[in-house]
Protein backbone atom coordinates (compact mmCIF):
# COMPACT_ATOMS: atom_id res chain seq x y z
CA UNK A 1 0.00 0.00 0.00
CA UNK A 2 1.28 3.47 -0.91
CA UNK A 3 0.05 6.41 1.13
CA UNK A 4 0.75 10.10 1.70
CA UNK A 5 0.51 11.66 5.15
CA UNK A 6 -0.17 15.36 4.82
CA UNK A 7 -0.43 17.99 7.53
CA UNK A 8 1.07 21.20 8.86
CA UNK A 9 4.46 21.22 10.62
CA UNK A 10 4.10 19.26 13.86
CA UNK A 11 0.86 17.54 12.81
CA UNK A 12 2.35 14.12 13.58
CA UNK A 13 3.31 12.87 10.11
CA UNK A 14 6.75 11.61 11.14
CA UNK A 15 5.46 10.05 14.35
CA UNK A 16 2.76 8.09 12.54
CA UNK A 17 4.96 7.16 9.57
CA UNK A 18 7.52 5.58 11.93
CA UNK A 19 4.80 3.57 13.70
CA UNK A 20 3.43 2.29 10.36
CA UNK A 21 6.94 1.46 9.18
CA UNK A 22 7.61 -0.63 12.28
CA UNK A 23 4.21 -2.36 12.25
CA UNK A 24 3.74 -3.03 8.56
CA UNK A 25 7.22 -2.90 7.00
CA UNK A 26 6.25 0.00 4.76
CA UNK A 27 9.06 2.42 3.93
CA UNK A 28 8.91 5.93 5.42
CA UNK A 29 9.96 8.50 2.83
CA UNK A 30 10.52 11.70 4.78
CA UNK A 31 11.91 14.46 2.59
CA UNK A 32 12.67 16.49 5.74
CA UNK A 33 14.85 13.64 7.10
CA UNK A 34 16.53 13.19 3.69
CA UNK A 35 17.34 16.91 3.54
CA UNK A 36 18.65 16.97 7.13
CA UNK A 37 20.92 14.00 6.26
CA UNK A 38 22.17 15.90 3.18
CA UNK A 39 22.84 19.01 5.29
CA UNK A 40 24.75 16.91 7.85
CA UNK A 41 26.80 15.22 5.11
CA UNK A 42 27.51 18.57 3.41
CA UNK A 43 26.38 17.36 -0.04
CA UNK A 44 25.60 19.94 -2.78
CA UNK A 45 21.88 19.45 -2.04
CA UNK A 46 22.50 19.94 1.68
CA UNK A 47 24.48 23.12 1.07
CA UNK A 48 21.66 24.52 -1.06
CA UNK A 49 18.88 23.46 1.34
CA UNK A 50 20.44 24.46 4.69
CA UNK A 51 19.57 28.16 4.81
CA UNK A 52 16.17 27.63 3.16
CA UNK A 53 15.21 25.08 5.83
CA UNK A 54 16.50 27.24 8.66
CA UNK A 55 14.31 30.07 7.35
CA UNK A 56 11.27 27.76 7.25
CA UNK A 57 10.78 28.15 3.49
CA UNK A 58 10.34 25.41 0.89
CA UNK A 59 13.27 23.93 -1.02
CA UNK A 60 12.77 24.33 -4.84
CA UNK A 61 10.46 21.77 -6.45
CA UNK A 62 13.02 20.50 -8.98
CA UNK A 63 15.46 19.45 -6.22
CA UNK A 64 12.72 17.73 -4.22
CA UNK A 65 11.27 15.90 -7.22
CA UNK A 66 14.69 14.50 -8.20
CA UNK A 67 15.34 13.41 -4.62
CA UNK A 68 12.09 11.51 -4.26
CA UNK A 69 12.18 10.09 -7.81
CA UNK A 70 15.47 8.34 -7.12
CA UNK A 71 14.36 7.09 -3.72
CA UNK A 72 10.95 5.78 -4.78
CA UNK A 73 12.53 3.73 -7.59
CA UNK A 74 14.59 1.72 -5.08
CA UNK A 75 13.62 -1.92 -4.53
CA UNK A 76 12.49 -1.59 -0.89
CA UNK A 77 9.67 0.78 -1.91
CA UNK A 78 7.97 -2.10 -3.75
CA UNK A 79 6.63 -3.33 -0.39
CA UNK A 80 4.74 -0.05 0.09
CA UNK A 81 5.69 3.45 1.16
CA UNK A 82 4.50 6.32 3.31
CA UNK A 83 5.31 9.75 1.93
CA UNK A 84 5.91 12.17 4.82
CA UNK A 85 6.54 15.78 3.79
CA UNK A 86 6.19 15.22 0.04
CA UNK A 87 4.43 16.48 -2.03
CA UNK A 88 4.31 20.02 -0.62
CA UNK A 89 3.20 21.94 -3.71
CA UNK A 90 0.78 21.20 -6.53
CA UNK A 91 3.78 21.00 -8.90
CA UNK A 92 5.31 18.29 -6.67
CA UNK A 93 1.97 16.42 -6.60
CA UNK A 94 1.79 16.47 -10.41
CA UNK A 95 5.40 15.32 -10.70
CA UNK A 96 4.65 12.50 -8.26
CA UNK A 97 1.73 11.33 -10.40
CA UNK A 98 4.02 11.24 -13.45
CA UNK A 99 6.86 9.38 -11.72
CA UNK A 100 4.48 6.81 -10.23
CA UNK A 101 2.86 6.22 -13.62
CA UNK A 102 6.32 5.77 -15.19
CA UNK A 103 7.19 3.21 -12.52
CA UNK A 104 3.84 1.37 -12.75
CA UNK A 105 2.87 2.43 -9.24
CA UNK A 106 -0.09 4.33 -7.79
CA UNK A 107 -1.33 5.96 -4.59
CA UNK A 108 -3.90 4.22 -2.41
CA UNK A 109 -4.78 7.04 -0.03
CA UNK A 110 -3.82 10.57 0.98
CA UNK A 111 -4.43 11.05 4.70
CA UNK A 112 -4.65 14.57 6.13
CA UNK A 113 -3.86 15.04 9.82
CA UNK A 114 -5.83 18.08 11.02
CA UNK A 115 -4.35 19.87 14.05
CA UNK A 116 -5.09 23.33 15.51
CA UNK A 117 -2.37 25.97 15.15
CA UNK A 118 -1.84 26.39 18.92
CA UNK A 119 -1.31 22.64 19.29
CA UNK A 120 1.14 22.61 16.35
CA UNK A 121 3.26 25.27 18.04
CA UNK A 122 3.22 23.39 21.36
CA UNK A 123 4.20 20.12 19.63
CA UNK A 124 7.04 21.63 17.63
CA UNK A 125 8.44 23.61 20.59
CA UNK A 126 8.66 20.49 22.76
CA UNK A 127 10.07 18.11 20.17
CA UNK A 128 13.50 16.46 20.43
CA UNK A 129 15.14 13.50 18.73
CA UNK A 130 17.83 10.95 19.50
CA UNK A 131 20.79 11.81 17.27
CA UNK A 132 21.91 8.15 17.27
CA UNK A 133 18.74 6.24 16.25
CA UNK A 134 16.35 9.02 15.20
CA UNK A 135 13.64 8.17 17.75
CA UNK A 136 11.36 11.19 18.28
CA UNK A 137 10.23 12.53 21.66
CA UNK A 138 8.29 15.40 23.20
CA UNK A 139 8.84 17.17 26.54
CA UNK A 140 5.18 16.75 27.49
CA UNK A 141 3.56 14.20 25.18
CA UNK A 142 6.36 11.64 24.83
CA UNK A 143 9.16 12.18 27.33
CA UNK A 144 12.05 9.71 27.66
CA UNK A 145 11.69 7.29 30.58
CA UNK A 146 15.07 8.37 31.98
CA UNK A 147 16.05 12.02 31.56
CA UNK A 148 18.76 12.48 28.91
CA UNK A 149 18.67 8.83 27.70
CA UNK A 150 16.98 7.53 24.56
CA UNK A 151 14.50 4.74 25.48
CA UNK A 152 15.23 2.87 22.27
CA UNK A 153 19.03 2.83 21.96
CA UNK A 154 20.33 4.41 25.17
CA UNK A 155 21.84 7.29 23.18
CA UNK A 156 22.69 10.39 25.16
CA UNK A 157 22.71 12.97 22.36
CA UNK A 158 19.16 14.31 22.29
CA UNK A 159 18.88 17.18 19.84
CA UNK A 160 16.38 19.84 18.84
CA UNK A 161 15.85 21.08 15.28
CA UNK A 162 17.05 24.58 14.39
CA UNK A 163 13.73 25.33 12.66
CA UNK A 164 11.65 24.35 15.71
CA UNK A 165 11.26 27.85 17.14
CA UNK A 166 8.30 30.22 17.27
CA UNK A 167 9.69 32.68 14.69
CA UNK A 168 10.53 30.06 12.02
CA UNK A 169 7.28 28.27 12.77
CA UNK A 170 5.38 31.35 11.50
CA UNK A 171 7.10 31.01 8.11
CA UNK A 172 6.60 27.23 8.05
CA UNK A 173 2.88 27.61 8.76
CA UNK A 174 2.60 30.30 6.07
CA UNK A 175 4.32 27.97 3.58
CA UNK A 176 1.90 25.19 4.53
CA UNK A 177 -1.22 27.37 4.21
CA UNK A 178 -0.18 29.04 0.96
CA UNK A 179 1.79 26.36 -0.89
CA UNK A 180 0.82 22.97 0.56
CA UNK A 181 -2.87 23.28 1.45
CA UNK A 182 -3.80 23.71 -2.27
CA UNK A 183 -2.80 20.05 -2.69
CA UNK A 184 -5.84 18.99 -0.66
CA UNK A 185 -8.46 19.80 -3.36
CA UNK A 186 -6.11 18.20 -5.91
CA UNK A 187 -6.35 14.85 -4.13
CA UNK A 188 -10.00 15.32 -3.09
CA UNK A 189 -10.89 15.58 -6.76
CA UNK A 190 -9.12 12.28 -7.39
CA UNK A 191 -11.14 10.63 -4.59
CA UNK A 192 -7.97 9.85 -2.61
CA UNK A 193 -8.19 12.31 0.29
CA UNK A 194 -9.36 11.35 3.78
CA UNK A 195 -9.07 13.85 6.67
CA UNK A 196 -8.70 12.70 10.25
CA UNK A 197 -8.52 14.36 13.66
CA UNK A 198 -4.81 14.73 14.40
CA UNK A 199 -5.59 16.34 17.77
CA UNK A 200 -6.32 12.95 19.30
CA UNK A 201 -3.58 11.10 21.16
CA UNK A 202 -0.98 9.23 19.13
CA UNK A 203 -2.51 5.73 19.43
CA UNK A 204 -5.98 6.99 18.47
CA UNK A 205 -4.51 8.67 15.38
CA UNK A 206 -2.70 5.43 14.48
CA UNK A 207 -5.96 3.49 14.79
CA UNK A 208 -7.77 5.96 12.51
CA UNK A 209 -5.02 5.58 9.88
CA UNK A 210 -5.13 1.79 10.16
CA UNK A 211 -8.90 1.80 9.63
CA UNK A 212 -8.47 3.85 6.45
CA UNK A 213 -5.72 1.52 5.20
CA UNK A 214 -7.84 -1.51 6.00
CA UNK A 215 -10.87 -0.09 4.15
CA UNK A 216 -8.84 0.57 1.01
CA UNK A 217 -6.91 -2.72 0.86
P1 LIG B 1 9.88 18.39 7.57
O2 LIG B 1 10.93 17.69 8.30
O3 LIG B 1 9.01 17.62 6.63
O4 LIG B 1 9.04 19.24 8.61
P5 LIG B 1 7.48 19.57 8.74
O6 LIG B 1 6.58 19.29 7.62
O7 LIG B 1 7.52 20.98 9.17
O8 LIG B 1 6.98 18.56 9.71
P9 LIG B 1 7.56 18.20 11.09
O10 LIG B 1 8.65 17.19 10.96
O11 LIG B 1 7.89 19.47 11.82
O12 LIG B 1 6.27 17.63 11.80
P13 LIG B 1 5.56 16.20 11.78
O14 LIG B 1 4.20 16.39 11.16
O15 LIG B 1 6.42 15.13 11.21
O16 LIG B 1 5.38 16.04 13.34
P17 LIG B 1 6.03 14.98 14.35
O18 LIG B 1 5.48 13.63 14.07
O19 LIG B 1 7.51 15.14 14.43
O20 LIG B 1 10.53 19.56 6.68
C21 LIG B 1 11.50 20.44 7.20
C22 LIG B 1 11.89 21.44 6.12
O23 LIG B 1 12.49 20.75 5.01
C24 LIG B 1 10.77 22.26 5.51
O25 LIG B 1 10.44 23.40 6.28
C26 LIG B 1 11.37 22.62 4.15
O27 LIG B 1 12.30 23.65 4.25
C28 LIG B 1 12.11 21.35 3.78
N29 LIG B 1 11.30 20.39 3.00
C30 LIG B 1 10.98 19.11 3.39
N31 LIG B 1 10.25 18.51 2.44
C32 LIG B 1 10.09 19.42 1.44
C33 LIG B 1 9.41 19.39 0.18
N34 LIG B 1 8.73 18.30 -0.23
N35 LIG B 1 9.45 20.50 -0.59
C36 LIG B 1 10.14 21.60 -0.20
N37 LIG B 1 10.80 21.70 0.97
C38 LIG B 1 10.78 20.60 1.78
O39 LIG B 1 5.37 15.51 15.72
C40 LIG B 1 5.77 16.73 16.30
C41 LIG B 1 5.87 16.57 17.84
O42 LIG B 1 4.55 16.34 18.32
C43 LIG B 1 6.74 15.38 18.27
O44 LIG B 1 7.47 15.77 19.40
C45 LIG B 1 5.71 14.28 18.64
O46 LIG B 1 6.19 13.48 19.70
C47 LIG B 1 4.49 15.09 19.04
N48 LIG B 1 3.24 14.44 18.62
C49 LIG B 1 3.00 13.77 17.44
N50 LIG B 1 1.74 13.33 17.40
C51 LIG B 1 1.14 13.74 18.57
C52 LIG B 1 -0.17 13.59 19.11
N53 LIG B 1 -1.14 12.92 18.45
N54 LIG B 1 -0.41 14.13 20.33
C55 LIG B 1 0.55 14.82 21.03
N56 LIG B 1 1.84 14.98 20.55
C57 LIG B 1 2.11 14.45 19.33
pLDDT interval class at 217 (50, 70, 90):
confident
Q: Give me the active site residues, please.
A: 13, 88, 127, 161, 172
Encode pLDDT of 33-49 as tens digits. Answer: 999 999 999 999 999 99
pLDDT interval class at 207 (50, 70, 90):
very high
**Cα torsion for 24, 88, 75, 27, to the nearest 10°?**
-20
> Whole-prediction pTM value?
0.95
Give 112's strand partners: 6, 195
Nearest atom in ligand 1 to the alpha carbon of residue 12 is 18
Ligand 1 pocket at CB < 6 A: 7, 9-15, 31-32, 35, 52-53, 56-59, 64, 85-86, 88, 92, 123-124, 126-127, 136, 138, 141-142, 163, 172, 201-202, 205
Encode pLDDT of 58-110 as tens digits. Answer: 999 999 999 999 999 999 999 999 999 999 999 999 999 999 999 999 999 99
Encode pLDDT of 106-131 as tens digits. Answer: 999 999 999 999 999 999 999 999 99
pLDDT interval class at 53 (50, 70, 90):
very high
Task: Kindly state the average pLDDT of the residues 174-187.
Answer: 98
Q: Does residue 216 carry a pLDDT above 90?
A: no
CB atoms within 10 A of CB 65: 20
Amino acid sequence: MNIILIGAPGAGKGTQAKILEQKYGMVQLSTGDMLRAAVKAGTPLGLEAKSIMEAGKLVPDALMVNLIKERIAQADCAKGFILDGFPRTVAQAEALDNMLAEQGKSLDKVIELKVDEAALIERVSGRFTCAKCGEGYHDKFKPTQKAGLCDKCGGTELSRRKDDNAETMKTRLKAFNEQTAPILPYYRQKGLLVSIDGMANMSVVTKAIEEIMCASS
